[in-house]
Structure 1
């Protein structure tokens, strides 16, 4: 293009090129973020203790509590029932607390805002957090299952690998719910306050205290839309059946779907920093 006093090239780079490059997944940034989260988590000894040590200690305490408890001949021991519940509940509760607090800490410190100025997209950032905490959850489930099955005599009719798998899925669900709730909290204390709202109703209505079929009909409807109900039912199926049942497979798929939905909503509601 010629103009008086000179010429200007009309071969301008497209204005959206940077946006296109920014929208692509950067494996290097994703892996770097995942590694940073794992290193940060490993440096927090209290979080490591909560993830790895506390569940095994509580399960061991329950073993001694129920060691001499009477039960009907041929029926599962009270410890078996309680341990099965704990292996499903602990990953959900612990990973919800750790994830929501850690994410809120990242936001308040400004780390989250700096990360979002890199080519890492919001969903990729959530995927990095999900990956890092899923690795921590796998370590938690591995240690808890080893202690329960090999040291405390816990047994199930189904494969221990299924118990291990369900425990990890529950932990990923806790990660997704923690990431989602952290988007609506302004302080770490507020992040913790979401637990009575999000986690406690699930524990009350999933069948731990009162069987779901014994609940009033309107509470059964609420229980049917809570993921913890399906997680516990899947564990109970594994505990009483030698093979994977259709009910257990359905319940596992439902919990996986809830976890994916929670991660997707967390990515959609992710804010750079707390206003």
Structure 2
């Protein structure tokens, strides 16, 4: 892995994102709008918006980054761009970590906008700081990037890439404790939830919601999510193909 090549790759991807206005709108504007919808849905239920919105600040970046990254990498492969890039000194690890860094920057902007809207326009109230929420949202978005890169290796078309959403993303949303507390689930569902990284992202956000200071449990959960992202990137590098047949 070359740091210079990785950063150069990140710069190329960031420049591509800047010129894709629809993707920029999806990354930055849509999460804020969805939070506004949640606000009006729960405006007559005191306290409900705080819990749901706090959790969604982690889930929205995860879902959107997974979708955008999986399709972006698939396009690199199907258009032959990836094959040409890999004939240069650029390695697979450089490419994938370059993607991870570039989309982490996008995730930081996305998280900052969404967190700002939630706290200062919609009145989100948590015991912990907005900075910790932003940190967890960015780590969660990087997880979405890593899983998107991994899943893109097994898709041949953009439609197939999207099909991984209900397979990889939706089960994590259902079992993370958003709808039903994990303690109330059947034992086998709890066991599955315990190995899904989004579970720990949601737990970390809930820790911020109830504790004024960063707790050891929160940091443990953040480290688990970050570790899952790195593992997914390594697996993506091992399974990445130059092009789609």
TM-score norm. by structure 2 comes to 0.97
Name the residue aligned to 1:20: none
1:260 counterpart = 2:230: yes
Larger RCO: 1 or 2 (CA < 8 Å, sep 6+): 2
Counterpart among 130, 133, 137 of residue 103 in structure 2: 133
2:23 alignment partner in structure 1: 47
Is residue 66 from structure 1 mapped to residue 36 from structure 2 by the alignment?
no
Partner of 2:117: 147
Residue in structure 2 matching 1:163, options 133, 136, 142: 133
Q: Distance between the aligned counterparts of 2:179 and 2:194, measured in 1?
A: 16
Partner residue of 1:11? none
2: distance between equivalents of 1:133 and 1:88?
A: 15
Task: Name the counterpart of 1:84.
Answer: 54
Aligned: 1:35 with 2:11: yes
Secondary structure of residue in 1 paired with 2:61: helix
2:227 aligned counterpart, secondary structure: helix
Residue in 2 that maps onto 1:174: 144
Whole-angstrom distance in 1 between the partners of 2:167 and 2:43: 34
Aligned-residue RMSD, C-alpha: 1.1
- The structure number with the bigger radius of gyration is 1
Give every structure 1 segment of 4 or more consecutive aligned residues whose post-TM-superposition deviation is greater than 6 Å.
none
Structure 1 position 26, deviation (Å): 6.0
1:31: Cα distance to partner?
Answer: 3.0
- Number of aligned residues: 245
Structure 2 gap ranges (5+): none
Q: Please tell me whether the aligned partners of residues 26 and 120 of structure 1 are also in contact (alpha carbons under 8 angstroms).
A: no
Q: Which has the higher helix share?
A: 2
Using structure 1 for the length normalisation, give the TM-score: 0.87
